[in-house]
A = this chain, B = another copy of it.
Amino acid sequence: MPAGIVQMAPDPTQFLHWRAERVSPPEALSERLLRRGDSAIVDFGRHLTGHLSFSIAGEGRGVDAPARLKLTFGEVPAEVAQPFDPYQGGLGRAWLQDEVINLDVLPAVIRMPRRYAFRYVKLEVVDTSPNYAVRIGKIQATALSSAGGDPPPLPEAVPAMLRQTDRVSIATLRDCMQTVFEDGPKRDRRLWIGDLRLQALTNYATFRSNDLVKRCLYLFAAFPREDGLVPACVFEDPEPHRGHEYIIDYAALYPAAVLDYAKATGDWNTAVDLWPVVRQQMDLLSAYVGSDGIFAAPARSWVFIDWCDALDRTAAMQGTFVYSLRQALELARHCGAPGEAAKYQQLIARMTSAARGAFYDFPRQVFVSGPKRQVSWASQAWMALSGIATAAEAAQAFRTVAAQTGAVRPGAPYLYHYVAEAMLRCGMKLEAKQLVETYWGGMVKAGADTFWEVYDPSNAGLSPYGSTQVNSYCHAWSCTPSYLLRTLNLA
């Protein structure tokens, strides 16, 4: 049920420059008659993924024309405060959640057939007729999620901000959990490997909807490229099929997702069943490791690591693949593949040695990447997670990079997660906690009901797509603080 009627006020002190102000209780909506040009913004009080329904009646001398309404759904105030058009974004305009509907017969109960991700709904009466106005009532949302009930809250001993961050993480995951772990319910309902892996880890610590993880692992296994590489993403409609993107580091993380699942559930039968898919990824990706022991992604392939154009990905990709080999090694042992296990072990050793030579800048005590010897947070994170760096080296490297203003910082929550996890794994609990408090906590302070796809505290206009209107404000890869808090004992 709606929580209130709000108006959006411009406010330069807010991160996205708009603030929702409650103007009346939800009942106020049906107390108003709405005519041409009138509008109201309904606040549901929380983010949700789902459907909207409402009743609408005409009142006046006669309901002698159809009613034309515009509905705009927003995850954040800025989406309903500013017009979507003219739209300059790089992604399809249809992701922006607005509808124009014409109602021939009143009164009516309207059930909007599409699914939206929203907290706010702006209702605009484009027109009625001079003879009548409309009254809108019984507005309600049906929230959808395949997640069960919320997990118990964190103990009171955990600082309030971290407990709130945990709650927002759980809400983010909940609203992305549908028939797959969606990337972002507003704008990308696909299942992506990189996001799945982080959602699954958080799920084991919270909802424990383990069959949903299993379904997703099989969806990737079911639709490989002709050569066997798993696709970066899978669509469910009109029937399940692979997306056209292939991301090298995402394919490398497929074994990790399988191993995480088996460990969290004890369902090693599934791991055995999926082992051939895991082995094939390792075979395909191993071919990109040169005689120098360095992973060299083929030209025009996509290595993601982070939303960051400036990032040199060589070191991070090397680390990701060594990390992947470690997961595959553990799976090989469990799945009765000693030959593979031995092969992976040798490759880990060769790549670790090569990486230390190629990427470790001993005098500066930091890992570098690429011909310009770029220093980035991404490189340190993956050198740490892969074990190429020792814990002590990694901790020192993080301190070095933190002090270096020119270092390439993470661009999006996905990499922030791996940085925090890497810090925890090399004994930097305090720093990891500060990172979570600053970064995810920053979103909480900025009013996030669910965590965002991109967030750069220093740049409110950041969008990978040329328009913050099309950014996703409930995005799966941002949900990991609950994993860090509940599984890795961040607090």
Cα–Cα, bound, A245→B99 (Å): 33
Evaluate contact between B244 and A106: CB separation under 8 angstroms.
no
Do A94 and B65 contact each other (CB < 8 Å), given the known contacts A100-B99, A131-B244?
A: yes
Contacts of A100 in B (CB 8 A): 99-100
Interface residues of A in 435-463 (CB under 8 A from B): none
Flag the segment in A40-48, A121-129, A197-205, A402-410 that touches B.
A121-129
Chain B residue nearest in CB terms to A190: B64
Evaluate contact between B92 and A129: CB separation under 8 angstroms.
yes
Cα–Cα, bound, A244→B103 (Å): 20
Answer yes or no: A102 CB below 8 A from chain B CBs: yes
Chain B residue nearest in CB terms to A65: B92
Evaluate contact between B94 and A127: CB separation under 8 angstroms.
yes
Answer yes or no: A10 CB below 8 A from chain B CBs: no
Q: Which of A66, A67, A94, A130 has the most CB of B within 10 A?
A: A94
Q: Copy number of this protein in the oligomer?
A: 2
Contacts of A62 in B (CB 8 A): 243-245
Q: Which of A61, A64, A67, A105 has the most CB of B within 10 A?
A: A64
For residue A185, give the distance in angstroms from its CB to the closest CB of chain B: 12
Evaluate contact between B94 and A67: CB separation under 8 angstroms.
yes
Answer yes or no: A155 CB below 8 A from chain B CBs: no
Contacts of A237 in B (CB 8 A): 104-105
How big is chain A's contact interface, by range? 35 or more
Q: Which of A100, A106, A190 has the most CB of B within 10 A?
A: A100
Answer yes or no: A356 CB below 8 A from chain B CBs: no
A94's partner among B68, B94, B131, B190 (CB-CB below 8 A) is B68
A129's partner among B65, B91, B102, B238 (CB-CB below 8 A) is B91
Answer yes or no: A95 CB below 8 A from chain B CBs: yes
Cα–Cα, bound, A93→B65 (Å): 9
Evaluate contact between B107 and A102: CB separation under 8 angstroms.
no
Binary contact track A54-77/B, C-beta < 8 Å → 1, others 0: 000000011111111000000000
Evaluate contact between B243 and A93: CB separation under 8 angstroms.
no
For residue A328, give the distance in angstroms from its CB to the closest CB of chain B: 28
Contacts of A63 in B (CB 8 A): 235
Chain B residue nearest in CB terms to A100: B100
Answer yes or no: A25 CB below 8 A from chain B CBs: no
Answer yes or no: A36 CB below 8 A from chain B CBs: yes
Contacts of A276 in B (CB 8 A): none
Contacts of A93 in B (CB 8 A): 36, 68, 126-127
For residue A226, give the distance in angstroms from its CB to the closest CB of chain B: 16
A102's partner among B99, B102, B106, B131 (CB-CB below 8 A) is B99
Cα–Cα, bound, A245→B63 (Å): 12
Answer yes or no: A114 CB below 8 A from chain B CBs: yes
Q: Which of A90, A91, A102 has the most CB of B within 10 A?
A: A102
Contacts of A68 in B (CB 8 A): 92-94
For residue A342, give the distance in angstroms from its CB to the closest CB of chain B: 39
Chain B residue nearest in CB terms to A66: B94
Cα–Cα, bound, A100→B84 (Å): 14
Binary contact track A240-254/B, C-beta < 8 Å → 1, others 0: 000111000000000
Q: Identify 13 residue pairs between A and B in the complex whose beta-carbon atoms are under 8 Å apart, listed by A's number.
A: A61-B244, A62-B243, A66-B94, A67-B94, A92-B127, A92-B128, A93-B126, A94-B102, A94-B127, A104-B114, A105-B238, A107-B238, A131-B244
